[in-house]
Structure 1
Amino acid sequence: MGNTQVKTGDVAASDLRVVPIIISFVVAGFIGLFSETALNMALTNLIENFGIHETTAQWLTTGYLLTLGILVPVSGLIMQWFTTRQLFITALVASIIGTFIAAIAPSFSVLMIARVVQAIGTALLLPLMFNTILMIVPPHKRGRIMGIIGLVIMFAPAVGPTISGLILKSLSWHWIFWISLPLLIGALIFGWIFMQNVTNPTKPKIDILSIVLSTFGFGGIVFGFSSAGEGGGWGSATVIVSMIIGAVSLLFFTIRQLKMEQPVLNLRAFKYPMFTIGLLLVVVCMMVILSSMILLPLYLQTSLSLSTFAAGLLLLPGGIINGILSPVMGGLFDKFGPKWLVTIGIVIVTGAMFGFSTITIETSSAFIIALHIITMVGVSMVMMPAQTNGLNQLPRELYPDGTAIMNTLQQVAGAIGTAVAISILSSGAEGFMSTVEDKANPLNPLLAFTAGIQDAFVFAIIMGIVGLVVALFIKRVKVEHPM
């Protein structure tokens, strides 16, 4: 371990201000991830304002995730080239610029550009946050700290629709960003004062071909799924070509990384079985969560004809409970390990998805609230314990790569989950309308939309069952490497 036991980055371990560093990340991460779902509640308004189709509006979420899918894989390399402070400040500046452009956006295309700039900030911040926590927090305390980080990662997207619903009740969608802006500036100032460098940049050689292959690989896969979700259908030329380019690029990227002495993304992390299992569980959870996050606001506003504010309020209790439970589950993980937490959590999530697949235009609000709360309880039991257990198995030198791999595949899974859900929703609604005789009846489009929603939640059930099978193999990691 050399001198890393005495010194972390350019700061002696005893001089690390652990709490302010964590607070800096928590505040910045919260605002960054809040914007990931805050616009979901405004989709209906944006569709009307800009005269766009719902599958085009979906690109505000998918484009954001696509940018993360392209940038996060190279974050492991970036973290070895720049200091913690440099990356933190750059991430916040990108988020601030993106948020400002979004706040003044006069058209869909400008708003789309703003989302990409915002995503650049998040793409730098998320892996940096995980890597820093692994560097400054000893293994036996990581569950609780990762639980607090989980509070941010799950709580921010969960309350995003509620807060944006409240804003949209009396203000335009631009205010979602105007309200975020001073908070981001505050996070930048706080981080400027308290953030410390916790790693020594080693400046490894940059392999341009690997970066190109990674971009076409992850970008092609996400773009392919998103294009299918946008209404092109799975058989369209765009989808097929994107998928083939993505798959072939990823294959060559993987082969190249395994042959290189200093890979851009060290795939040897997959040699550690609990890391791989933890990763699979996180991927399943992200698919379920982000598909639900886009389906529920659309269902509440279309099928149940609720206002944005009312729809947002229905999703608030689940978000709050998830935020409260994340640190609690982290503490339970520190004590008892992941096995029972994760397995029971996946069963709970799958059960909730089964409930969502039965919703109709007569479903009560109380039923939706209950199902959403149950989903969020289950998610808090799975996400952070699986993630922490997986990262704990990695040796210290693989932390940047492990966090980059996990964050990359989370975002790719989120984009795939969102695209597949919207695609199933669209085809389900079209299938229903093709069977009705009286197409002029105003009730039929509502029934068709609801049928599409039910179909989309069946996809979430299947993902939950896959997660349950994976969860059966999880074991507690005994951390042998010291801090």
Structure 2
Amino acid sequence: MSSSLPRTTTTVLRTLTVAAFVVILNETLLVNALPQLMESLQVDERAVQWLTTGFMLTLAVVIPTTGWLIRRLGIRPTFRLAMGLFLTGTLICLLSPTFVVLLLGRVVQASGTAIMMPLLMTTLLNLVPPHARGQVMGNVTLTIAVAPAMGPAVSGIILRWLSWHWLFGLVLPIALVVTIIGLRALRVADTPDLDGPRPQLDPVSVVLNAIGFGSLIYGLAEAGGEGSTALVPAPTALVVGALGLGLFVWRQLVLQRTGEPLLDLRTLRHVQFLAALLLTSVGFMALMGVMILLPLYLQQVRGFTVLESGLLLMPGGLVMGLMGPLVGRWFDRLGSRPLVVPGAFVLLLSLSAMALATLGAPSWVFLVCHIVASVGLALMFTPAFTGGLGALPHDLYPYGSAMIGTIQQVAAAAGTAASIAVLSLRQDALLGSGVGDLAALEGGVRWALALAVILSVVVVVISFFVRTRPEPAGEPADAVEQPHTPAPLG
């Protein structure tokens, strides 16, 4: 953290960052364990990916409520709720005897994670002055990026000697200690609650949000499989999801005029925030697709052990995390665009090389490509987050954090589901033509990686719409209710 910040501010941010590290670690903790879980729980690729997709889907459904929660409860009670849910979910996962119970535990876990991330970002924006946000956000990025990178490696080490239940058994006491220390630190630090009246929760918005995002991601997850095995046909689920999201947006627009919206869409009036939202969302679609494809490919096609595939993925995440403070300082000096545009091109080149590497390149090529892709993501994400959220008025900080978290996680879930769908479709086609099992899986992975390349092309296009410096935040949202024309991009 920046040495110029007050001691209480540093204490609060460090406490929330450590807690965020623990909960985010679990987002990728099972990625490397999916093949073993398939065998242990007797489920296929499409079923087991719900342990990741379901986690991210829960994030998408719960995160929109965090703007209301933070303003309603304050920092310390919100922290207590987040960690309480996470501990409960981890305990369920530890004791789960079946796939269904394990999935339930992951959903409860994700509910706590969903609250923690916007809490950290909103608190940072409220306590850190604009001139120091790049450096502080860079330090936070280090922790947040290292956590998912450590997930596959940690799971690989644990699974080498212990059963998958210990993936949660070892996390549980650590999370408990973090919770106890965090509650004490937040009390001693005399943390300020957010200003303004405490809003009311709109139940209709909550229901529409769950129906819209839930149906959309369910439809995406089922799109690559056989419709006869799905509880609801994929096209039906996608239509219901689109209608639900449409009604959700309509409800928020109504509440912006007559009451308190669950997710304030006035954040989208700010060009810098909108560009950051699109950039990070599409980037996460590509990232999560690669994160779930590489362990399957390395273990089932290249013959890697669980530990070996986890270790191969770890350096990239560590590089991304270690670059966080450096990129934060660059952002404070240069702004967003000089970092985001090169980062987008680096991501495109690295994913293109990774897709070509499935044609028979040595295994070390995947390591290099993953590290280079992580460099590109580091150059994009910290400037996008900091510049986009910093462009919002003060009273929209909680909603901006919730908006970016929601859309980002839905995009990540969609990227995971779409990657598995493309893999399954291509794999089935190759199997039907008489190709062997391993060759069919390799062909499916290659097509799914090609999808990630297409998404990275979209990221490059969006990067040119990112401003170098945030637009002036201006007055609070309530003072700018009149329609306005966004400033030219530049």
TM-score range, shorter chain: over 0.9
**Amino acid across the alignment from 1:302:** Q
Distance 1:180 1:173, change over 3 A: same
Query: Matched residue pairs, number?
Result: 464
What is the aligned partner in structure 1 of residue 252 from structure 2?
Answer: 257
Distance 2:475 2:129 in 1: 8
Shift of 1:148: 2.0
Deviation at 1:471, TM superposition (A): 0.8
Matched, 1:199 2:194: yes
Secondary structure class of the residue paired with 1:81: helix
Which residue matches 1:477? 470
Task: Give the distance between the partners of 1:137 and 1:233, measured in 2 at CA.
Answer: 53
Give the Cα–Cα distance (whole angstroms) in 2 for the partners of residues 236 and 106 of structure 1: 23
Compared CA separation, residues 480 and 70, structure 1 to 2 (3 A): closer
Letter in 2 for 1:135: N
CA–CA separation in structure 2 for the residues paired with 1:228 and 1:338: 37
Task: Choose the corresponding residue for 2:292, options 276, 291, 294.
Answer: 294
Write the letter of the residue equivalent to 1:265.
L
Q: Which moved more, 1:410-419 or 1:233-242?
A: 233-242
Would the aligned equivalents of 1:58 and 1:230 in 2 still touch at CA under 8 Å?
A: no
CA contact (8 A) 2:354 2:365 kept: no
Q: Note the 1:36-75 alignment, pairs <5 A.
A: 36-75=27-66
Displacement of 1:31: 1.4
TM-score by length of 2: 0.91
Q: What SS is found at the alignment partner of 1:363?
A: coil
In structure 2, how many angstroms separate the alpha carbons of the residues matched to 1:449 and 1:413? 24
How far, CA to CA, are the matches of 1:219 and 1:409 in structure 2? 13
Overall identity of the aligned pairs, in %: 36
1:3 maps to none
Q: How does 1:319-398 map to 2 (within 5 A)?
A: 319-360=317-358, 362-398=360-396
**1:117 paired to 2:108:** yes
1:237, 1:120 → 2: CA distance?
24
Map 1:273-292 to 2 at 5 A.
Answer: 273-292=271-290
The match for 2:205 is: 210
Residue 54 of structure 2 aligns to which amino acid in structure 1?
A: G
Check if 1:272 corresponds to 2:257: no
Of the candidates 440, 443, 459, which is equivalent to residue 467 of structure 1? 459
* Deviation per residue, 1:171-195 (Å, 9 max, x gap): 1111111111122112112211112
Offset of residue 230 of structure 1: 5.3
- Partners of 2:288 and 2:83 lie apart in 1 by 24
Amino acid at match of 2:202: D
Tell me whether 252-261 or 36-45 shows the greater mean CA deviation: 252-261
Partners of 2:369 and 2:314 in 1: CA distance: 12
Shift in Å at residue 360 of structure 1?
2.9
- Which whole-Å CA distance do the structure 2 matches of 1:224 and 1:474 have between them? 32
CA separation of 1:78 and 1:63: change in aligned 2, threshold 3 A: same
Cα distance change, pair 295–51 in 1 and its aligned pair in 2 (3 A):
same
Take 1:295 and 1:18, find their aligned partners in 2: how far apart are those partners?
40
Amino acid corresponding to residue 210 of structure 2 in structure 1: T
Distance 2:428 2:263 in 1: 42
Distance (Å, rounded) in 2 between the aligned partners of 1:200 and 1:229: 47
Asked if the contact 1:206/1:264 (under 8 Å) is kept, the reply is: yes
Q: Which residue of 1 aligns with 2:173?
A: 182
The one-letter code matched in structure 2 to 1:77 is: W
- 1:160 is aligned to 151
Match of 2:222 among 220, 227, 230: 227
Matches within 5 A, 1:28-43: 28-43=19-34
Give 2:117's aligned residue. 126
2-side partners of 1:15 and 1:283: how far apart? 33
**Greater mean deviation of Cα atoms: 350-359 or 113-122:** 350-359
Q: Classify the secondary structure of the residue corresponding to 2:62.
A: helix
Shift of 1:149: 2.1
Instruction: List alignment gaps of at least 5 residues for structure 2.
Output: 477-490
**Greater CA drift, 353-362 or 185-194:** 353-362
**What secondary structure sits across from 2:170 in the alignment?**
helix
Q: CA deviation at 1:233?
A: 9.5
Give the structure-1-normalised TM-score.
0.92
The alignment status of 1:107 with 2:103, answered yes or no, reads no
